[in-house]
Amino acid sequence: MKKSYLIIGLVVFLMAGCSQPYSAKPLSMVKIFDKRQHSALNTSEPSWQTEQQLRRLFLDEQYDKDPLGIIDDLYAKAYASHDKTLMRAVAELSLLNARKQYAKDRVLSTTLYINAAELTYDYLISDDAFASRNVLTPSYRFMAEIYNRSVSRLVEIRGKYEVPWPETLSGVIGDRSYEITIKKQGPFLWDPTLFDQLTPANQLQIKGLRNQYIAKGLGAPLVG
């Protein structure tokens, strides 16, 4: 009996020692699910996974001061180490900052969207990601959504230029440069100049139809 009391006393002591500044409280499943769904796709903040990644690398405070510099550094580390978790974080931060930069610098915003599209594309077509592609892989679906959002936003931004669809597009971020070739003709291709406007599907609200059908895929969902 004495031994049992000793063990119980030790457990209580450890719990008491951890009571500050740590705590735990029950939450409803709805609140937990809602909190876990927050990301750059639907808020102005990164997901909890990306925030955690920044903290693990001791870069959370530096990111607040120099987000573009941190994105550039993490981009290089992600490709050097082939770290899929890091690629996920950099892609999300690129998408988030592309949106924030749009009003101030449209060219930089475009380049950040390209950055996000490149990271997600390389992530999605990698051998291990391809082998595990299914609806039960949250990171794969998350990266697919970032890819779709980045590409559709790129098309939307280009449509606002006086000459929206030149033969090539270029951009620079950090020590990297991008050049994109635009193909307007070919099998299964639509010439973008045929449309007065191309709008991302996620920016449209459909009214008057009771039933709506949504299928998740890979590519830029646009309405023209």
Number of H helices, E strands in the chain: 9, 4
**120-138 b/e (C-beta count within 10 Å ≥ 16 → b):** bbbbbeeeebeeeeeeeee
Q: State residue 24's pLDDT score.
A: 72
Question: Could you read off the pLDDT of 105-144 as tens digits, one per residue?
Answer: 988 898 999 999 999 999 888 765 545 455 557 888 899 9
Task: Look up residue 63 and give its DSSP letter.
Answer: H
Looking at the whole model, is its pTM more than 0.75? yes
| Token pair in block for residue 99 | 């949106």
Residue 159, pLDDT > 70, answer yes
Summarised one tens digit per residue, pLDDT across range 181-218 is: 888 888 888 888 888 888 887 778 888 888 877 777 78
The most confident of 36-40, 55-59, 122-126, by mean pLDDT: 55-59
What DSSP element (H or E) covers 31?
Answer: helix 29-36
Q: Quote the CA–CA distance of 96 and 115 in Å, as a whole number.
A: 11
Domain borders along the chain are: 44-223
* Average pLDDT score, the chain: 80
3-state secondary structure of 172: strand
Query: Can you give the pLDDT at residue 200?
Result: 80
CA distance 217 to 146: 12
pLDDT at residue 15, as a whole number = 44
